[in-house]
Structure 1
């Protein structure tokens, strides 16, 4: 019985042969294989380097360096679906440095960065081995330009803001103005365009008043004041007046439709003066005719 057995300790079966070999090696009973010291030293240095790399957080860099030099460096990027977003902005979000390896490239992080761009609604990023990245995006659909204060912002139908308006590219979008306009504009603007296209074609701005009702600013600076409720009925009334008498093309400042039983038309100062003079002339002529009748 060996010493370990006499003391009540027995090595596991798998370790007994290596233990006996190690004992014989220490006693000089076994000659080590050729280059054993060099191999052991290499293993020790390699394991130390691997441990230091992992502990220092340099593993991804090592993998990147090895794989990029083995034919897996990204050298092609295909971008599709972008119209408002420049391809350069999308490429910037991929964060390639010229040695980026497809093996260690994180598509989830890249997708999140691309989706953070103002116009991007959704994004997908796919790796195509050995060296290609494919990016597909769906952009937000602009609905109107919202003026709040001195700021112009492009918004979606839902009222969600997309980005600041900076150019003429979206000049044909409806202009909506005032607090609460983005949240209520979609249904109202669509109704005007569908049911009263002649009026819609002349509207230059839809102005939200007190977040309760709308004013329409036309291309000749006439303001159509709509009621809080039954705006469609009011528009039908002014549409009929326009077809019968061309009221919106006259010398007026505004048409007030807020009262259900009447239409109030405000004349321009020039038209008001002309009307006043006409009334005075008519009154003068009436008095003259009355005097002549008495005589």
Structure 2
């Protein structure tokens, strides 16, 4: 029988097992399996039969010191540092980082937000805290940080979508389609974005730019969209011409502008501005050079025609 029964095979009055002089037998009590060996050892200690293994005192002292140190580290909040130090030196130190999805954000900025020190353990690394730090970067919309054991971190990011550049005074910023500022202008491919100028421009720009894009030849020549008084638009073209659109009926004005340029080459002439703010007329402003030439040409015309002499018959 596998169970150890106390008091079996003994006559009445027979002495049963005792622990430190205290009897442990009680009828047919069966001691649970898990307690049998510890109770036997304690019983032998009580009668002086047990001999401790070699170095047991040193082992117990080490266990006591280690447990005391662990408890002290717990109270002092240093447990994470201890775990980091131990696991990093046993093959779990982060030595490779993969960054995917960044275009405007540099890998250096992302690595800086990971806060790795060369002995950072993958086991104790807080991926969620790192994700929040990376998400705070200007261009980052969504970030994910994943541990790949034994020693790799994988960072995936989705960046905000740039729509245009917005100039306010001397400040030039990259903005999203809803007008939210992403970051200051830093050059590179950002120069290809449409340039909006003036207060209130971002709010009205998406619809207005959609109208201009219906005419690719005109859209390719526009270098700046100026919001005037938060009421209407001026177009700054690549050859320096300014087109002043009306506050109302800008769709019709744009169509007429494109038609006149196609038929008469209006936007290729030596002019400084085309004023379309008046519904019943179009005003063209010459450049200073063109105005001077025109004035000189007018002055060269004879003021009066010479009269022919009369012929007598």
- TM-score between the two structures when normalised by the length of structure 2: 0.76
Aligned to 2:189, the other structure's residue is in SS state coil
| Structure-2 separation of matches of 1:229 and 1:103 | 64
Aligned to 2:161, the other structure's residue is in SS state coil
Change (3 A) 1:29 1:139: closer
| Structure-2 separation of matches of 1:116 and 1:215 | 36
Alpha-carbon offset, residue 57 of structure 1: 0.7
Q: What is residue 9 of structure 1 aligned with on the other side?
A: none
From 110, 115, 132, the equivalent of 1:95 is 115
Aligned to 2:191, the other structure's residue is in SS state coil
Q: What is residue 78 of structure 1 aligned with on the other side?
A: 98
| Structure-1 separation of matches of 2:249 and 2:302 | 40
The answer to whether structure 1 residue 192 and structure 2 residue 251 are counterparts is no
Q: What is residue 262 of structure 1 aligned with on the other side?
A: 281
Alpha-carbon offset, residue 251 of structure 1: 2.2
Change (3 A) 1:45 1:234: same
The answer to whether structure 1 residue 224 and structure 2 residue 243 are counterparts is yes
Pairs within 5 Å for 1:196-211:
196-211=215-230
| Structure-2 separation of matches of 1:268 and 1:56 | 78
Tell me whether 46-55 or 95-104 shows the greater mean CA deviation.
46-55
Pairs within 5 Å for 1:153-168:
153-168=173-188
| Structure-2 separation of matches of 1:277 and 1:46 | 102
From 231, 251, 256, the equivalent of 2:270 is 251
| Unpaired stretches in structure 1, ≥5 consecutive residues | 1-20
| Unpaired stretches in structure 2, ≥5 consecutive residues | 1-38, 309-313
The answer to whether structure 1 residue 115 and structure 2 residue 147 are counterparts is no
Tell me whether 164-173 or 122-131 shows the greater mean CA deviation.
164-173
Alpha-carbon offset, residue 156 of structure 1: 1.7
Pairs within 5 Å for 1:27-42:
31=48, 34=52, 41-42=61-62
The answer to whether structure 1 residue 240 and structure 2 residue 252 are counterparts is no
Q: Which has the larger radius of gyration?
A: 2
| Structure-2 separation of matches of 1:74 and 1:237 | 64
User: RMSD in angstroms over aligned alpha carbons?
Assistant: 2.9
How many positions carry a matched residue from both structures? 267
Alpha-carbon offset, residue 123 of structure 1: 0.8
